[in-house]
Structure 1
Amino acid sequence: MPVPESRGLVARSLLRDDAYTALRNAIIDGTLTPGERLNDAELGQWLGVSRTPIREAIGRLERSGLVQTKPGRYTIVSPIDVREIRSAQSVAAALHELAVREAIPNLSDADIRAMREANDRFTSAMDARDADAALQADDDFHSVAVAASANPVIATVLEQVTAVLRRLERLRFSSLDGRGSIALHNQIIHLCEAGDADAAARAARQNWQTLLALVDVAADIDPHTQAG
């Protein structure tokens, strides 16, 4: 097969993905605050990339609800929108419930070990009050079932709807309030190991429903929060 004439596709893809990840993480951890104006040139200089991957990343962030743009006027970090959080949470809870239900027949011993290891890291991060490590460990825990579900649509939709929940999750994992997830994770592991798809799926939904208790807290902390 002749070599395609186009060049740099892999590098361009990596730049785009890296720019998206860096900006998403900066919004989640508060480096870029709600309502803050975003300038393409400044972001490009900060990340060491050109305008193109920055604009592509901004587009993805806008679709995920983390950025708002008005062409020709401004691009800002989205305020925390209570209605959007509630909508995203309900979808995320339902999809994680479905992921666990569909994953049960496919889960291996290695998957169960991976879930336990992720929850151990989550516990250590909570003890250390390391919100970033807790968020990563929580992602790793839930990604086991999402992958084992063998349903690519679940992963695709979760990538979009979960983004707006990350700021709320980080708030929860910055306090001892998030320790309840440790027990829920252990319950999910036990039920998955027992092959109880219905109970494991319900526990997964319950785990994600705990985020709703923080919506009002977020509204009190962030003056840019938009009420539902």
Structure 2
Amino acid sequence: MPIPERQGVIPRALLRENAYLSIRDAIVDGTLAPGERLNDADLAQWLGVSRTPVREALARLEEAGLVQTKPGRYTMVTPLDVQAARAAQSVTAAMHELAVRQAVPRLSADEIEAMRAANGRFAAALQAGDVDAAIASDDEFHGVAVTAAANSAIRSVLEQFTPMLRRLERLRFASLHGRDSVAQHQRIIDLCAAHDVERAAVAARDNWLTLDPLFDFEAPPQ
């Protein structure tokens, strides 16, 4: 019988998205270190794709501030940059404030409980010194309000700017900050459960503004 033309063919958009997510995650978790040179062909071989989705992914990562390109010279992982990190922090904090402000009136009891459960996993991960699990649980905690807000613009902005902050957290994980965050999360939960929109939104913003100790570094010379 004739073989269907599209059987087993992975859509280009999916290849592009998978390449972007894989390279982004490798930068965030430090597998691809700050200042490391990136080669299209090497990345394509690693991901098992052609160079086209890799180039598209790198262009998108450059927009997010995770990759730097000098045409005809090099493409590399962006070195740590205090100014860029602080800019990402201010935008991220503002977006989470807005997300909570829009989410609180519609949060269900199940969603409040999901926040509590995520914070419990966050605390346990900190106790175990498991950075990956801590950050994943933190994402889950904040993701409840972002999802409930149902605002695609907020989600889009966070997807662009949060990875830069997560990279710093992984490279310079601060256990004291993390323990403080457990209590901050609990305050956000309590205020959300009380339907206190204004104070819950401010608490969410302040939680992201407590990342300042992560910026206490001297970037290596480029």
TM over 0.5: yes
Please report how far the alpha carbon of residue 46 of structure 1 lies from its aligned counterpart in structure 2 after TM superposition: 1.3
What does residue 188 of structure 2 align with? 188
3-state SS of paired residue (2:210): helix
Alignment-derived partner of residue 167 in structure 1:
167
Question: 2:30 touches 2:171 (CA, 8 Å); kept in 1?
Answer: no
Q: What's the Cα RMSD here?
A: 2.0
Note if contact 1:126-1:173 (Cα within 8 Å) is conserved in structure 2: no
Percent identity of the aligned residues?
A: 62
Counterpart residue number, 2:22: 22
Secondary structure at the counterpart of residue 35 of structure 1? coil
Q: Corresponding residue for 1:111?
A: 111
Structure 1: segments with no counterpart, 5+ residues: none
How many pairs were matched up? Answer: 218
Partner Cα distance (2:152, 2:44) in 1:
32
The correspondence of residues 77-226 of structure 1 with structure 2, limited to 5 A, is 77-171=77-171, 173=173, 175-216=175-216, 218-219=217-218, 223=220
Q: Which residue of 2 aligns with 1:40?
A: 40
Query: What TM-score do you get using the length of structure 2 for normalisation?
Result: 0.91
Seen in structure 2, the aligned counterparts of structure 1 residues 119 and 172 have a Cα distance that, compared at 3 Å, is farther
TM-score (norm 1): 0.89
Q: SS at 2:140's partner residue?
A: helix
The 3-state SS of whatever aligns with 1:80 is coil
CA offsets, 1:18-67, max 9 Å, x none? 21111111111111111110001111111211111111111111110000
Verify the 8 A CA contact 2:126 2:134 in the aligned structure 1: yes
The separation in 1 between residues aligned to 2:71 and 2:129, in whole angstroms, is 40
* 2:212 partner amino acid: L
SS of 2:75 mapped into structure 1: strand
Query: Residues 168 and 21 (structure 1 numbering): CA distance in 2 closer, same or farther, change over 3 Å?
Result: same
Alpha-carbon separation, structure 2, partners of 1:139 and 1:107: 17
Deviations 1:100-129 (A, max 9, x none): 011011101111111111111111111111
- The 8 Å contact of residues 68 and 75 in structure 1, kept in 2 or not, is answered as yes
